[in-house]
Amino acid sequence: MPQVPTVTGMVEAEELGTTLIHEHLRNADEAVRNQWPHVGAVKEDQPHEVAPDQVYEIAVREAQAAVDLGVKTIGEPTAMFLGRDVEFMRRVSVETGLQVVPCTGIYTYDHLPQFLMNRDPDQIAELFVHDIEDGIQGTEIMAAFIKCAADEPGVNENIEKVHRAAARASVRTGAPIMAHSRPASNTGPRQVEIFLEEGVEPSKIQIAHTGDTDDLDYIEGLLETGVWIGLDRYGLDIFLPYDRRQATAKALLERGYADRIFLSADSVATTDWFPVNVSDGLIAAGAAHDWTIRIVHERVLPELREWGLTEEQEQTMMVENPVRWLTG
Ligand SMILES: [Zn+2]
């Protein structure tokens, strides 16, 4: 029976249960957090900056809300540069019972620090393999998957290097890959191409944020390669409004793709990316609405059920796909 690493140890794959594949318990600039630990974060329902010690409380609150809605597990794709802290994840998991599946990897759209500039893909892959086989940040918590990203700058030299490193670590360990993508910049096809060139099985590749477009030709082009796609930013209206995300999900379900789709929100319990005034401005401008770990179970699934989503399709997307992607 295959097992999957979580922040509280290995679990039987069949114990993952209902899983949101892409939710963040915290999003922070790790360099700023290290240099200026007094700086807090924002949460859209808080009128002021959240103090550092409240960041944990809010993560627990959000994780508990997910558990109360029947979520048993989350994929936690917080990698390098997003403030990965597996001890923080472990505390939240222990306090709430939410199973948290952690990752290794590097989240950048372009910039790499000198340490990574001066290393080749194999040397970077070594870092990922370490997290998968030996444990993360000095703990015995193993990484379950590998994260990388391509965004508006496209798949440039630095991004290609990180993708090749992710691919090589995947081939060596069998760990699957989650690749942040930007459909508006057409990154998905090139990301898949690199992984396949490196010998990664399509069944181990998840192209996250594919649901930021409703261009079905683009989406089916990716699906034809055999990869998974994330319809994983419900509530982030700035990239695609909610109704168009739902219309896309329905169209893909009608075409029989339930066994290739993940539904999630890419929510962050808190983030320090924006000061309060900027965050308030974004919310006021409609950039995000109901963008929480709760939205899939409170809104997306009930609406889809009303529309005709079958129990079998729901079970496939929310329970079986995570197991199949994580265990290959
Ligand atoms: Zn994310």
Q: How does pLDDT run across 11-24, given as a tens digit for each residue? A: 999 999 999 999 99
What amino acid is encoded at 206 in this protein?
Q
Query: Taking the CA of residue 156 as centre, how many other CA atoms within 13 Å lie in the half-sphere pointing to its CB?
Result: 10
Within 8 A by CB and 6+ apart from 2, the residues are 12, 13, 323, 327
294 Cα: distance to centroid of ligand 1 (angstroms): 15
Q: What is the mean pLDDT of residues 126-130?
A: 98
146 Cα: distance to centroid of ligand 1 (angstroms): 13
220 Cα: distance to centroid of ligand 1 (angstroms): 22
Tokens linked to 49: 């900056």
C-alpha span between 324 and 163 (Å, rounded): 22
**Would you list the DSSP string of 282-303?**
HHHTTS-SS-STTHIIIIIHHH
Burial group, residue 153, by CB count within 10 angstroms (0-12, 13-18, 19+): middle
Q: Which residues of 160-184 are buried (b: 16+ CB within 10 A; e: fewer)?
A: bbbbbbbbbbbbebebbbbbbbbbe
Is residue 91 over pLDDT 80? yes
181 Cα: distance to centroid of ligand 1 (angstroms): 10
138: left (phi over 0), alpha (psi -120 to 50) or beta: left
Identify the residue whose tokens are 């919310």: 283
288 Cα: distance to centroid of ligand 1 (angstroms): 14
52 Cα: distance to centroid of ligand 1 (angstroms): 21
| pLDDT tens column, 47-74 | 788 999 899 999 999 999 999 999 999 9
Of the pLDDT bands very low, low, confident and very high (cuts 50, 70, 90), residue 114 is very high
Closest residue by Cα to residue 76 from 65, 64, 92, 61: 92
| pLDDT tens column, 260-309 | 999 999 999 999 999 999 998 999 999 999 999 999 999 999 999 999 99
75 Cα: distance to centroid of ligand 1 (angstroms): 10
The overall pTM is greater than 0.95: yes
Is residue 120 over pLDDT 80? yes
Is residue 1 over pLDDT 90? no
264 Cα: distance to centroid of ligand 1 (angstroms): 10
243 Cα: distance to centroid of ligand 1 (angstroms): 21
Contact 62, 269 (CB under 8 A): yes
- Please report the pLDDT score of residue 59 as a whole number: 98
> What phi and psi, each to the nearest 5 degrees, are found at residue 162?
-65, -40
Identify the residue whose tokens are 């500039």: 117
